[in-house]
Structure 1
Amino acid sequence: MATNPIRVGSGSEKMKLKSLLLRYYPPGIMLEYEKSGELKTKSIDLLDLHPSTDVNALVEEIQRAEPLITASRSDQVKLLIRRLQEKLGQHSNHKFSLFKVLRAHILPLTNVALNKSGSCFITGSYDRTCKVWNTASGEELLTLDGHRNVVYAIAFNNPYGDKIATGSFDKTCKLWNAETGACYHTFRGHTAEIVCLSFNPQSTLVATGSMDTTSKLWDIQNGEEVFTLTGHSAEIISLSFNTLGDRIITGSFDHTAVVWDTETGRKVYTVIGHCAEISTAMFNWDCSMVLTGSMDKTCMLWDATNGKCIATFTGHDDEILDCCFDYTGKLIATASADGPPPDDQL
């Protein structure tokens, strides 16, 4: 941690560095600083860091770009980066085995989600409840009861993990205290089933996507609707905030995905290119690209600044049900209904 604060700027714009925090995944350094009496954070992403990276040159580059990192902090930053390099250089052969089987609900499960540390997880079910579990012991910690239909979409407000959102076929979303199970708010306004939801990274908003073709943004603090995002002509089945929280993308059965401005609720652009329903839509870590998967058996990569297609990935023989970036945004994984490859291709 930093000890002697660094001040930059002048007058009311003085900034004082409070601490430096190491972030292993994705690799980076978090800066906690004070500006005009308010504590703020910013990150220095090191997605291209490699065990062979020249640390001295990298720190010089960081200092040129970030005024909070002065010469007196260079040794501390170098130490943090070398710790990241050491972590990246650790090669281990992971072996996986079945850890535990939980008979979680009396009816089928719809979804599972972990908190950031993995210490607990939640399950949604056709039995109209969401349950909170201790990962290590398998102990049931809470039952979140109150929905009148299937609990289909669930999420922790990671990285904080102190709140849970549940979306239901009863057309409502509920916000819960993850420790006590108390319900803070019930968000009402959709006219059809809620099938996807997400917190923004700052944990100030919850977004819900519905079969009514709209997505809504809700204020966590007061429980009020902030915006209704309208423009899709069919069901919204996927949504995701970018890591800055200033954009959200929605994927729809109308074959398109739309990027929206979360500050105004206005459409930024629509990505058009798929010829069947969208199954997944998401941003990469540095918010420069968008990824979409589709029932048309393809996955498409888009420039997040203008919505233009960068690449189309083909090869699956059936619908793509899910896809994702790795943390650097250099690799993409796709999951399809076409099943495993033939034995001679394994």
Structure 2
Amino acid sequence: MNSTPDDQTQPSKRQRADDGQAITLYAPPEENVDQNVDAGLRTSSLADPTMKLSGHKGSVYCIAYDPQGDLLCSGSFDTTCLLWKAGGNCENVAVLSGHKNAILDCRFTNDSEKVIAASADNNLGVFDVATGERLKRFMGHSSIVNAVDVSSEASPALAVSASDDCTVKLWDARVRGETGSLEDEYQITAVAYSNDGNSVYSLSINPKGTHILSNSMDGTIRSWDIRPFIEDNKKRHHKTFVGGTHNSEKGLLNCSWNSDGTMVTGGSADRIVHIWDELSAEELYVLPGHAGCVNSVVFHPKENVVASASSDKSIYVGELS
């Protein structure tokens, strides 16, 4: 399991050249430039501006930072989750095993003490971060569990999951079995707790709890107003972010906000991470470098860093300058 500097690329903010073409985020470093000269301009605790994390034996479908930003968790087709230090050389610190099929989603509880993983084996696993031990299984879904989320402010024992069995189930690690179930006509591919820990919504909710973000197979990421009272209840659609793509694989590509809700990002089948300004919907950064579909992208909760997971079995962690 390796975490190494990506010598091929160095990050720089997307800018417009004179001919209108975009300059990519992972641009090759200039020749004869002493990399230590700009050490004082570094914007994160990473040992290098861009790090490549290798260790999974299959496609990496999900990644998540713990609320403090100390650890990064990745989940893979290889049925394991790997825990990495979020700073320095991003060393691998634990392997979370026990599932019998691919890990499709993962979340840290809000106290950073546990990881909950959603798997194609129809179950969810609750793992101890300190020991790597599986503490509990949430069993009740009858098909693939596509997504999991946790309460950000209420008890760290609470979780919610979405499944191909057309249900959303509520869980409390302090009791046995599910505590509630919501049914739908179709498979449910995403789920999220609202900030108050009560309402359950699909997709990714912004830090203020006013909008959700969706990543659609029509090739767009969209934000939606979920406040209870707006002038025109029929006009919930807020903004559209264009640039990402989907392909015939129809993978479950995630989307997310940064910590203050000023930027959004999401997975894309074109092997590139796209990051947009939330206010203007302008694409700010592009991050080429992956050799496979980008399945998951998340922002660090405290630093100007983004992490991306790909079907090429690797994870990139890099500064946004």
Using structure 2 for the length normalisation, give the TM-score.
Answer: 0.59
Count of residues in Structure 1 that have an aligned counterpart in Structure 2: 220
Give runs of aligned pairs for residues 174-253 of structure 1, distance below 5 A. 174-201=125-152, 202=154, 203-231=156-184, 233-250=185-202
The runs of at least 4 consecutive aligned structure 1 residues that moved more than 6 Å come to 338-341
Larger relative contact order (C-alpha < 8 A, sep ≥ 6)? 2
- 1:143 alignment partner in structure 2: 95
My pick for the range that moved more, 314-323 or 136-145, is 314-323
Q: Is the 8 A contact 2:140 2:177 kept in 1?
A: no
1:290 pairs, out of 197, 212, 215, with 212
Q: Is the 8 A contact 2:244 2:267 kept in 1?
A: no
Could you list the per-position Cα deviations for residues 190-249 of structure 1 after superposition, in whole angstroms to 9, with x for gaps in the alignment?
A: 111111111111213111111112111110222420111112x22211111111112111
Which protein is bigger by CA-based radius of gyration? 1
The answer on 1:166 being equivalent to 2:128 is no
The answer on 1:101 being equivalent to 2:52 is yes
1:124 pairs, out of 52, 75, 86, with 75
The answer on 1:313 being equivalent to 2:240 is yes
Counterpart residue identity of residue 162, structure 2: G
Pair 1:329–1:134, CA change in 2 (3 A): closer
1:169 CA drift (Å): 0.8
1:302 pairs, out of 225, 229, 233, with 225
1:117 CA drift (Å): 2.7
1:289 CA drift (Å): 2.8
Pair 1:234–1:137, CA change in 2 (3 A): same
Q: Is the 8 A contact 1:242 1:282 kept in 2?
A: no
Q: 2:121 is paired with a residue of what secondary structure?
A: coil
- Give the structure with the larger helix fraction: 1
How far, CA to CA, are the matches of 2:242 and 2:55 in structure 1?
A: 37
The answer on 1:157 being equivalent to 2:84 is no
- In structure 2, the gaps of 5 or more residues are 1-40, 248-252, 275-285, 287-321
Could you list the per-position Cα deviations for residues 266-297 of structure 1 after superposition, in whole angstroms to 9, with x for gaps in the alignment?
A: xxxxxxxxxxxxxxx23222323333332234
- In structure 1, the gaps of 5 or more residues are 1-91, 251-280
Using structure 1 for the length normalisation, give the TM-score.
Answer: 0.55
Counterpart residue identity of residue 247, structure 1: S
The two structures, once aligned, show a CA RMSD in angstroms of: 3.2
Identity of aligned residues (%): 23
